[in-house]
Homo-oligomer: A and B are copies of this chain.
Amino acid sequence: MDKIKNIGVLTSGGDAPGMNAAIRAVVRAAIYYELQVTGILRGYEGLINGDFISMDRKSVANIIQRGGTILKTARSDDFRTKQGRQKAYEQLKANQIDALIVIGGDGTFTGANLFVQEFNFPVIGLPGTIDNDLAGTDFTIGYDTAINTVINAVDKIRDTAESHDRLFIVEVMGRDSGLIALRSGIGAGAEAILIPEAKTGIDGLVTRLEHGRKDKASKIVIVAEGDDAGGAFKVGEVLREKFPSYDIRVSVLGHIQRGGKPTCMDRVLASRFGVAAVEGLIQGKSGEMIGQVNREIRFTPFGQAIKHINAEEISPAWLKLVEILSL
C-alpha cells in the first residue's frame, strides 16, 4: 500500500453527542501528521455523491462542545448495493482520498466491512452511537451523554412524582439493548428497570412496586423501548389494571436523548479515538473499529465489533445490584 496522504472522514447512522469532538480530533491529528483531511457530508450518501469539503484547523474550531455532527449524517440505501459502493470507491479515487475514517454504529461498520473486502481500501471505524452496543469497546461515543440526559430528565420527573405520590413509567432508548435503561435506571434511582435482556415478569414487578408503597408512594420504572413487556404505554396499561387507585403516568423521553453537549467523558473518548484512528491508518491498519477496553486503546475487526456483545453490565451481578438499590 502506498503512503496515505489524504484521509476522508464521515459520520453515519444516528447522530451521537461527541461526534464533533471525534471529527475535530481526526482533523487535528491528520494535520499533526502532515496529512490532508477531507470531510464527507451526509455519511455514505455524500460519499457516493461526492459531497466533499476540504478541512483545516479552523474547520473544527469551537465544535468540541456541540452535539450533533457538523458533517451531517444519513442512512444510505445505495451503499448497501454493490453499485453504490463502487460509485463511492470511484469518488474516493477521483478525489485522491487514500483512506477513510467512518464514525457510526453497527450499520456503518457493516457497510465499511463490505467496502474494505471489495476494494481493499483502508477504513478505520470509530464507535459513535448512544446505544453502547458494540463489541470491542467498553464505551461508545455518546453513551455517557445519553445516560446523563436521561437521569436529568428523570430527576425532573421525580420532582413531580414525589409531589403527587405518582408512579411514572419512563421509556428510554434501546431497541435491542437495555444498557441505557440499566445504567440510567441505577443513576436515577429507579424502583424498577425493564430491559430486553431480562424477561419481565409482571407479577414480580407488581410485588416490587407494592413494597414500601406506604412509606414512599412515588416510584419510577424505567423501560427500554425494546423490552418484551412492550414499551412504556403497554406497561402503563397493565399496571393501571393491577393498581386501580394508583396515579400512574407514562413519559417517553424520545429524541432529546440523542442531542446536547457531550459530557467530558464523551469528549475525551472521542478525542482519543480520533487521534488513534489516524495513527492506526498510518500504521497500516484497516477493517477495524477502534475501541477502549480497560482504559487501553484496542482495535477489533468490523466483523466482530458488530456482534453486539457488550453485555458485561447485563450480568446477574448488575441485576442484583438493581434489586438491592431499588429496595
Contact = CB atoms under 8 A, between A and B. Distances in A.
A231 interface: no
What number of copies of this chain does the assembly contain? 4
Contact of A264 (B57, B147, B295): B147
A189 B64 contact: yes
A186 B15 contact: no
Given A255-B249, A256-B251, A183 B268 contact: yes
B294 A327 contact: no
Interface stretch (A1-9, A24-32, A105-113, A237-245): A24-32
B61 A216 contact: yes
Given A159-B258, A159-B260, A254-B251, A324 B32 contact: yes
Chain A residues touching B, majority SS: helix
Contacts of A174: none
A327 B32 contact: yes
The winner among A42, A165, A215, A295 for most chain B CB atoms within 10 A is A295
Specify which of A64, A158, A215, A324 lies most central, judged by the most chain B CB atoms within 10 Å of its CB.
A324
A325 B157 contact: no
Interface string A59-73: 001101111110011
Contacts of A29: 324-325
Contacts of A261: 152, 155
A324 B32 CA distance: 6
A188 interface: yes
Interface in A160-201: 160, 162-165, 168, 183-184, 186-189
A19 to B, nearest CB: 8
Contacts of A28: 324-325, 327
Contact of A157 (B69, B74, B188, B256): B256
Contacts of A256: 153, 156-157, 251, 253
Q: Which of A42, A149, A159, A255 has the most CB of B within 10 A?
A: A159
Given A152-B261, A155-B260, A183-B268, 13 more contacts: A15-B163, A29-B324, A29-B325, A57-B215, A62-B158, A148-B263, A157-B259, A159-B260, A168-B255, A184-B264, A186-B267, A186-B268, A187-B267
Q: Which 5 A-B pairs have the closest CB atoms?
A: A156-B259, A159-B259, A67-B159, A68-B159, A187-B264
Interface of A: 11, 15, 17, 19, 24-25, 28-29, 31-32, 42, 57-58, 61-62, 64-69, 72-74, 138, 144, 147-153, 155-160, 162-165, 168, 183-184, 186-189, 212, 215-216, 249, 251-256, 258-261, 263-265, 267-268, 271-272, 275, 294-295, 312, 321, 323-325, 327
